[in-house]
């Protein structure tokens, strides 16, 4: 790399796609950003010093990042929910396939 | 890997997220340092640090096995920001502890969450040198050869290797925003 930094979501997605075979799949699981939570402190506020996306991600954000990196057949599902300090936390799994032909 | 400079995407019409202020280069460096320090300090305690994640990890493992086509003889998996390997593999030491403390639910959880038995190769990548160490020690303890399960410190070390699947589990939120120059 030209210079060293803690990479962004967009950069890492592109990098990981580069390491996939054609027709390979990228799978990302993380915390779902909930509209109902917008008035509340971020769900990962305690880890603000090390977590950039303290509210998680929306489906739209993830689809944007995946499609922006050239992935196809992008799918998004909620695979689990949990309680954290009395609040609902939902978890998503986003997947996308690398096209057969290079972009 | 292409060398490119980061810039604000002029074609993007969506405004920056005001609840997550633009990260400066300095903040980004601090984020990375905080993550390396946090995970290096955890070491083997990584597993104890996330006991309540067991159920969520199990569900993720089931979801991945449902969504992905995994072949134990062929599928190669890149495990980005892999941590200690707890999320992909059975940790025998924890199993023993679990039996001694009668915490059988951990035993069940660890086994069902393991992805390792369903794929041919797992390659972890983590910026924390300590996590890479723990991951490799775990592979060794389980009798897995480096070509079956190993971790490295950066993607660049993988050179020309390409994978059937890349997974990122609960680490995307650690990454910085795109809004820095």
In chain B the domains, ranked by start, together with CATH numbers, are 25-171 (3.40.50.150)
Quick one: pLDDT at residue B85? Answer: 74
- What is the per-residue pLDDT across A52-61, written as a single tens digit (0 to 9) for each? 777 788 999 9
CA of A49: how far to CAs of B45, B108, B116, B175, in Å?
A: 20, 34, 32, 12
Any domain includes A1: no
- Phi, psi dihedrals of residue B167, rounded to the nearest 5°: -115, 140
Residues of B in contact with A17 (CB under 8 A): 166
Any domain includes A93: yes
Categorize the per-residue pLDDT at A77 as very low, low, confident or very high, splitting at 50, 70 and 90.
very high
Residues of B in contact with A26 (CB under 8 A): 165-166, 168
The answer on pLDDT for B22 being more than 60 is no
The answer on pLDDT for B148 being more than 80 is yes
User: Per the CB < 8 Å rule, is B163 touching A44?
Assistant: no
Quote the minimal CA–CA distance from B155 to chain A in Å: 8
- What is the rounded distance in angstroms from the CA atom of residue B103 to the CA atom of residue B87? 18
For chain B, what is the total number of helices (H) and then of strands (E)?
A: 6, 4
Q: What is the ipTM of this complex?
A: 0.86
DSSP notation for B1-69 = ---------TT--SPP-TTSPPPPHHHHHHHHHHHHHHHHHHGGGHHHH-GGGHHHHHHHHHHHHHHS-
Residues of A in contact with B60 (CB under 8 A): 29, 79-80, 91, 93
Quick one: pLDDT at residue B110? Answer: 38
Please answer whether residues B123 and B161 qualify as being in contact, where contact means their C-beta atoms are separated by less than 8 angstroms: yes
Query: What is the domain count for chain A?
Result: 1
Quick one: pLDDT at residue B12? Answer: 41
Quote the minimal CA–CA distance from A98 to chain B in Å: 10
Better-predicted residue by pLDDT, B43 or B151: B151
Quick one: pLDDT at residue B146? Answer: 92
Q: What percent of chain B has pLDDT over 70?
A: 54
* A87-97 and A72-84 beta bridge pairing: antiparallel
Categorize the per-residue pLDDT at A6 as very low, low, confident or very high, splitting at 50, 70 and 90.
low
B35: helix, coil or strand?
helix
CA B76, chain centre distance (Å): 15
Any domain includes A42: yes
Any domain includes A4: no
Please answer whether residues B134 and B45 qualify as being in contact, where contact means their C-beta atoms are separated by less than 8 angstroms: no
User: Per the CB < 8 Å rule, is B167 touching A29?
Assistant: yes
Quick one: pLDDT at residue A98? Answer: 97
User: Per the CB < 8 Å rule, is B173 touching A54?
Assistant: yes
The answer on pLDDT for B8 being more than 70 is no
- What is the rounded distance in angstroms from the CA atom of residue A69 to the CA atom of residue A63? 10
Structural domain boundaries, residue A88: 9-97
Please answer whether residues A21 and B78 qualify as being in contact, where contact means their C-beta atoms are separated by less than 8 angstroms: no
Please answer whether residues A98 and A71 qualify as being in contact, where contact means their C-beta atoms are separated by less than 8 angstroms: yes
Quote the minimal CA–CA distance from B53 to chain A in Å: 9
pLDDT average, residue stretch B113-136: 85
Quick one: pLDDT at residue A18? Answer: 96
Any domain includes A103: no
pLDDT average, residue stretch B72-100: 66
The answer on pLDDT for B168 being more than 80 is yes
Quick one: pLDDT at residue B92? Answer: 36
Any domain includes A2: no
């Amino acid at each position: 790399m030209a210079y060293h930094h803690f990479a962004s979501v967009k950069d890492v997605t592109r990098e990981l796609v580069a390491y996939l075979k054609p027709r390979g799949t990228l799978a990302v699981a993380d915390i779902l950003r909930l509209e109902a939570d917008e008035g509340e402190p971020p769900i990962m506020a305690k880890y603000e010093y090390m977590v950039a996306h303290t509210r998680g991600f929306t489906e739209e954000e993830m689809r944007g990042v995946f499609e922006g990196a050239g992935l196809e057949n992008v799918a998004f599902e909620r695979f689990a929910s949990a309680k954290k300090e009395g609040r609902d936390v939902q978890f998503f799994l986003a997947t996308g396939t690398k096209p057969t032909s290079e972009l | 890997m292409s060398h490119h400079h980061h810039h604000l995407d002029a074609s993007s019409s969506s405004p920056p997220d005001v609840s997550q202020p633009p990260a400066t280069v300095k903040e980004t460096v601090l984020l990375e340092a905080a993550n390396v320090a946090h995970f290096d300090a955890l070491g083997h305690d990584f597993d104890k640090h996330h006991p309540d994640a067991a159920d969520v990890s199990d569900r993720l493992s089931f979801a991945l096995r449902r969504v992905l086509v995994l072949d134990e003889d062929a599928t190669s998996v890149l495990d980005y920001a892999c941590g200690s390997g707890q999320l992909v593999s059975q940790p025998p030491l924890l199993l023993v502890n679990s039996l001694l403390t009668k915490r059988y639910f951990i035993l069940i959880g660890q086994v069902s969450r393991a992805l390792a038995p369903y794929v041919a190769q797992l390659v972890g990548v983590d910026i924390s040198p300590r996590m890479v160490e723990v991951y490799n020690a775990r592979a060794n303890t389980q009798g897995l050869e480096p070509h079956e399960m190993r971790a490295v410190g950066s993607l660049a070390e993988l050179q020309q290797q390409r994978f059937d699947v890349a997974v990122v589990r609960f680490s995307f939120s650690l990454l910085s925003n795109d809004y820095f120059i």
